[in-house]
A = this chain, B = another copy of it.
Amino acid sequence: MLTLNVPLGSRSYPIHIGAGLLTRAELIAEKLPQKRAVIITNSTIAPLYLAPLQRALEGRGVGIVPITLPDGESYKSWDTLNQILDALIEHRCERGTALIALGGGVIGDLAGFAAAVYQRGVPYVQVPTTLLAQVDSAVGGKTAINHPRGKNMVGAFYQPLAVVSDTDTLASLPPRELAAGLAEIVKYGVIRDSSFFGWLEANMGRLARREPEALAYAIERSCANKAEVVALDERESGPRALLNFGHTFGHAIETATGYGAWLHGEAVAAGMLLAARLSQRLGLVGNEDVRRLAAVLKEAGLPLAPPALGVERYLELMGHDKKVEGGRMRFILLKRIGEAFVSGEVPRAALAEVLGAGEAHARV
C-alpha cells in the first residue's frame, strides 16, 4: 500500500492506494468521529463491493446504514441528492455520522455534496472504484450535482477525511470506463509532468491491459500531481484551473449530447485534443506535440473526434461554463507537452476554425 498526503492544513487527508484495501477497514474506522457510518453506493457497485466493505467495518464495531442509488450520470441530480438527505434524516444521522462514498465519480460527487450540506457539514470518506475517480474526482474536495443547463453547476469545495483506492476494484471496470480514466491520467502528463507523459507513451499498452503494477504507478503519480496543485490552490482561483485542460470543450460535449452518452473522460479526451489544436492554430505549440497527444489518447482507446455540434452551439454551451470570467471565456492552452497555461486571449476566428473542423478530427 502506498500513502500520499494532501497537505491542506487542518483539512489535510491521506490517500491510500493498493490492492485489497476494501477490507482494510482500519484505514476508515480510525478516522470516524462516531462508530456509525452511511455507505452510499449504486446498484452496479453494491453487488460487487458493498458486502465486503460493510462486513469489514462492522467487524470493527462500526454500525452501517447502506444507501443504494441507481447507476448513471443522469442521477447526479437534485432528486437523488434529496433522496440521500431524506434517508439521512430518516435514519437520524447526526453531525458526527460519516458518509462513505463507494463507487465512481457520480457517487463521490453526490455523497460528497450531501456530506457538505447535511446539517451544514458531516465527515465523509471516498472509496473510489473506478479509475477516473481514483485519479481525479475522489481527490481534491470538489463535490457537485448537475443542472439541466450545466454540469457541476451546484456544489461545494469540501474535503474528505481520507481516500481509500483499492486497485482490485478496477478488474471489474468496463473497457470504456477504463479508457475514460486513462484520459485524466494523460492530462496530468500533458499539463505539468512531461516525464510522466513519456512514461505513458511507453506504457499505455500495459495500462490498457490492466497490469496491476502499471496501474498503481499511474494512479500514484496522478494523485501526486493533483495533490500538489490542490495544495497550491484549494478553491480554484489560480493554478488549479490547469486541471480543467480540455474540460471546457468536454463539458460542452457532455451537455449537448445529454449526460451519459459520452463518458466524462471520453469528452475530456476529445476536448484536450481540441484545446491542443487551438493552441497549435495560435502558434503556441508545435505539430509534433499535438500528434503525440493524439497518439497516446488513441492507444488508450479514446475517441478523438468531437461531435459536430456546429460552432454556435459550442460557443453557447461554453459560455455557461464556470471558467467564464468578466463575460470572457478563459482557455487552458498548451505551450508544450508538460506545460499548460490559462489564457483569455483567444480570437473567435481561431476558435470557430477549430470547432468547425470537428468532423476532420476523426482522421487524426
Contacts and interface: CB of A to CB of B under 8 A. Distances in A.
Interface of A: 34, 78, 82, 85-86, 89, 92, 94-96, 116-121, 142-144, 147, 149-150, 152-157, 235-236, 319-320, 322, 324-327
B157 A121 contact: yes
Nearest to A94: B324
Nearest to A322: B119
B89 A120 contact: no
Contact of A155 (B117, B154, B320, B325): B117
Contacts of A326: 34, 94, 96
Contact of A325 (B82, B86, B96): B96
A198 to B, nearest CB: 34
A154 B118 contact: yes
Given A89-B147, A89-B149, A89-B320, 16 more contacts: A78-B78, A85-B153, A85-B154, A86-B149, A92-B324, A92-B327, A94-B324, A94-B327, A95-B322, A95-B325, A117-B156, A118-B153, A120-B144, A120-B152, A120-B236, A121-B156
A293 to B, nearest CB: 28
Contact of A120 (B85, B96, B155): B155
Contacts of A320: 89, 92
A322 B92 CA distance: 10
Nearest to A34: B326
Contact of A117 (B150, B154, B327): B154
Contacts of A154: 85, 117-119
